[in-house]
Amino acid sequence: MNCWECGAPGAAMFCEGCEAVQPPDPRLDHFARLGVEPRFDQDPDALSAAHRALQRRVHPDRYASAGDRPRRFSMAQATALNDAIRVLRDPLRRAEYMLHLRGRDVGAEGEGRVQLSPAFLMEIIELREAVDELDGPDAHTERSRMAREVAARFEGMLTALGRRLDAGDDDLDAMAQLAAQLRYLRRVIDELQVDDGPGDWT
Amino acid sequence: MAYSDKVIDHYENPRNVGSLDKSDANVGTGLVGAPACGDVMRLQIRVTDDGVIEDARFKTYGCGSAIASSSLVTEWVKGRTVDEALTIKNNDIAQHLALPPVKIHCSVLAEDAIRAAIEDYKRKKGLG
């Protein structure tokens, strides 16, 4: 893109010539926006640091007395950076985003809907019924045990999915299946954590 | 988003919640899921030897519209033949419950569930 201010070509976040802040480049994906490798395997601290460093440069305080355009563009840059980190710092969302970049939408409805096997759905129903039925003196211990078990399975499957993504696996269907299953498992984990409140202290 | 009175009624007083013996030769089980929202729905029918659905049960983990859609379908299929039950369309469900456009997929899920249950029943009976 050419700089809106001085017309110099190839302007990124800031123009190399006049240093004016540019509007977010719509061609950048979240990885490129944060300047990190488009991989599943990411160091969470490095991701946050990259986000923070860029965010500092477009902080509203810097543009408080700037003109209307730089103020708007810096705000848009800040929003785009936040969108990027929100997706990338969550490993499951990061994996889904990588599939999305390759043309597969895990949350698609209608035609492109990811089909889950009845066996897996049965397992999820049974897991959720087991959560509903937690009761009695051992309920708390049992809930913790289930939470650990499901979380371990979630982590294992997520790691496997990440490896396949980073290895350039072409089986998008299988990977979308995995991601969809992970969504369901996360639901169960959330469920196990939500109800894990009052019982502790009443 | 406001739910219609009918959705709220089915959500607060769901009909036919529970399960039927899935190993029973006259019971068909349909299991469907929507990864978009993480909903999962199990719908079961028990069919008489004359091909009439005499009982239906469901269990749904999902939003109010998904629960209402499956609850309504269990009411509708009872007393119908399996072939009549196959004519239930998601539009009928969505219309009856006054589902907003963003919740249409819940009625689609319920239609898929009844179809899957009937397919399972037919497979067991060697009719598929």
Q: Provide the pLDDT confidence category of residue B128 given band limits of 50, 70 and 90.
A: low
> How much is the average pLDDT of B11-25?
93
How far apart are alpha carbons A60 and A86 in whole angstroms? Answer: 20
Q: Is the Cβ–Cβ distance between A130 and B61 less than 8 Å?
A: no
Instruction: Tell me the torsion sign for CA atoms A103, A106, A111, A115.
Output: positive
pLDDT score of B68: 95
pLDDT score of A201: 43
Residue in B42, B90, B103, B120 to test binding to A, most A beta-carbons within 10 Å: B42
Contacts of B121 in chain A (CB under 8 A): none
Q: Looking at the domain assignment, is residue A75 inside a domain?
A: yes
pLDDT score of A202: 35
Parts of chain A with a pLDDT under 50: 196, 199-202
Q: Does A122 touch chain B (CB under 8 A)?
A: yes
| Smallest Cα distance from A188 to chain B, Å | 10
Please spell the DSSP secondary structure of B64-116, one letter per residue.
Answer: HHHHHHHHHHHHHHTTSBHHHHTT--HHHHHHHHT--GGGHHHHHHHHHHHHH
Q: What is the pLDDT of residues B51-69, one digit of tens each?
A: 999 999 999 998 899 999 9
Which one of A55, A89, A123 terminates a domain? A89
Q: Does A124 touch chain B (CB under 8 A)?
A: yes
Give the percent of chain B with pLDDT over 90: 81
Domain B5-125: which CATH number of 2.130.10.10, 1.10.10.410, 3.90.1010.10, 3.10.180.10: 3.90.1010.10
Residue range(s) defining the domain that contains residue A137: 114-200
Find the length of chain B. Answer: 128
Q: Looking at the domain assignment, is residue A106 inside a domain?
A: no
Mean pLDDT over the full length of chain A: 91
pLDDT score of A146: 94
Sheet holding B39-47, edge to edge: B27-34, B39-47, B53-61
Contacts of A122 in chain B (CB under 8 A): 31, 42
Find the length of chain A. Answer: 202
Token pair listed for B35 = 């990864």
Mean pLDDT over the full length of chain B: 93
Q: Looking at the domain assignment, is residue A40 inside a domain?
A: yes
Contacts of B38 in chain A (CB under 8 A): 183-184, 186-187
Give the active site residues of B.
Answer: 37, 106
Q: Looking at the domain assignment, is residue A107 inside a domain?
A: no
Q: Do A124 and B35 touch (CB under 8 A)?
A: no
